[in-house]
Amino acid sequence: MNREGIEVSAAAMEAELERVGSLLRPLFARGEAWQRARRYLRGLTSEVRRKNSWQLAEQLGDATPYGIQNLLGRASWSADALRDGLRSYACEALADSQAVLILDETGFLKKGTKSAGVARRYSGTAGRLETCQIGVFLAYASSQGCALIDRELYLPKAWIEDRPRCREAGIPENRGFSTKLELAQAMLARAIQARVPFAWVTGDEVYGASTLRRFLEEHGKNYVLAVSRTLKLSQGFSQRTAERLAHEIPASRWRTIDLGPGSKGDRRSRFARLEINHDLQPKRNRWLLVRESLEEDRARSYYVAGAPSRTRLRKIAELARSRWRIEQTRQSHYRSRQQKPPPG
């Protein structure tokens, strides 16, 4: 880009930061906290490599990180109100009636035992058992881009049952136990209530349970959700596992589909689908979708899809492979910040 282009981009960024800063004003009762929030936002969009409190304070010209730490840990403002504002802001920029809402979870590694919800469990981030928090996220993805628009912190039962520990960590007294699936449904319900424009929902097998699928069908939303190979599905008058049904798909039903380059190289795979029992509205179907790797092991992945009957196999395959967008967005966001998200 030439020098003129860089100057225009810098001016556009400055104008957008001013606009977002003004949108933050109603969240803060005190003008001082609002001004610090505006400066914090500028720090996050700066070229500082590690965006922790110390380095951001230095970038902003503060002698200590205490101002930033006070903003994030002690100042009075509503994280939920900020979430709602972020959702409106993101959807305004990326709006598309055919957009996809993507559900996913991630772990945040922790050293101590005081952070809300922290426990020793398997972390996909580390690829092993670690002490971590688990966050469930919702992303909005369209042809214009992808952004995180909601989040919930998963709290294990052991935490909920230990009320003194909850109080010490700042967890509200009325917070009860919710499964990751219930947290996901709550976020989807908020998006629907806020009239977020979208047509599809996708996520991994944690979110492929029938309760969430029914919820989406009741609201007229399409979905492609990963499921376990052992999930029992109805076809005719019998129930069989997804794996067993996949073995019964005729060879003529399989198609090799090239979904273009991905983060891990070529994304060519074989796909097939099989209609399963449903009581949906007219002209809508529910299918078992099977993806088979072209590698030597021929590994298979399973999905349940609900959509208009005319939906092409390629479209459903694209949706099944679209979850990488939330992973890419989340990794980019937290790699740049090197800082934990606000508690849910």
At 257, which helix (H) or strand (E)? strand 255-262
pLDDT of residue 333: 56
pLDDT at 249 over 90: yes
Q: List for the chain the helix, strand, coil content (%; round to 5).
A: 40, 30, 30
- For residue 122, pLDDT over 50 is answered with yes
How many other C-beta atoms lie within 10 A of the C-beta of residue 122? 13
One-letter amino acid for residue 249 of the chain: I
pLDDT in tens, 278-324: 666 778 899 999 999 998 889 999 999 999 999 999 999 999 988 77
Cβ neighbourhood burial of 117 (10 Å; 0-12, 13-18, 19+): buried
Q: What is the pLDDT of residues 168-188, one digit of tens each?
A: 998 999 999 999 999 999 999
Q: pLDDT tens digits for 85-111?
A: 999 999 999 999 999 999 999 888 888
Nearest to 273 by CA among 257, 289, 285, 292: 289
Say what the pLDDT of residue 315 is.
Answer: 95
Find the range with the poorest average confidence among 128-132, 191-195, 322-326, 334-338: 334-338
So what's the pLDDT on residue 229?
96
Tokens in use for 245? Answer: 């049904």
Per-residue model confidence (pLDDT) at position 14: 85
Split at pLDDT 50, 70, 90, the class of 267 is confident
pTM across the whole model:
0.87
**DSSP three-state, residue 66:** helix
- Work out the angle at residue 99's Cα, subtended by the Cα atoms of residues 98 and 100, and round it to the nearest 5 degrees: 125
Q: Kindly state the average pLDDT of the residues 79-83.
A: 94
pLDDT above 60: residue 337: no
CB atoms within 10 A of CB 321: 21
Reading the block at residue 85, the tokens are: 């504002």
pLDDT grade for 261, boundaries at 50, 70 and 90: low
> Which runs of consecutive H residues, i.e. helices, occur in 25-110?
31-44, 53-60, 66-73, 79-94
Encode 48-80: b = buried (16+ Cβ within 10 Å), e = exposed.
beebebebbbebbebeebebbeebbeebebeee
| pLDDT reported for residue 343 | 40
Question: Measured between alpha carbons, how far is residue 316 from residues 27, 89, 178, 310, 311 in Å?
Answer: 40, 28, 30, 11, 7
pLDDT above 90 coverage of the chain, percent:
60
Give whichever of 15-19, 227-231, 235-239, 262-266 has the largest mean pLDDT: 227-231
Q: Which two tokens stand for residue 256?
A: 């090799």
Confidence of residue 153 (pLDDT cuts 50, 70, 90): very high
Backbone angles phi, psi at 321, to 5 degrees: -100, 10
User: What pLDDT shows up at residue 340?
Assistant: 41
- Give me the pLDDT at residue 344, please: 38
pLDDT at residue 6 greater than cutoff 50: no
Q: Which two tokens stand for residue 108?
A: 């945040």
| Pair type for strands 100-109 and 200-203 | parallel
Classified as helix, coil or strand, 281 is coil
Q: What is the pLDDT of residues 31-40, one digit of tens each?
A: 899 999 999 9
Residue of 337, 273, 263 whose CA lies nearest to 44:
337
| CB contact at 8 A, 141 and 99 | yes
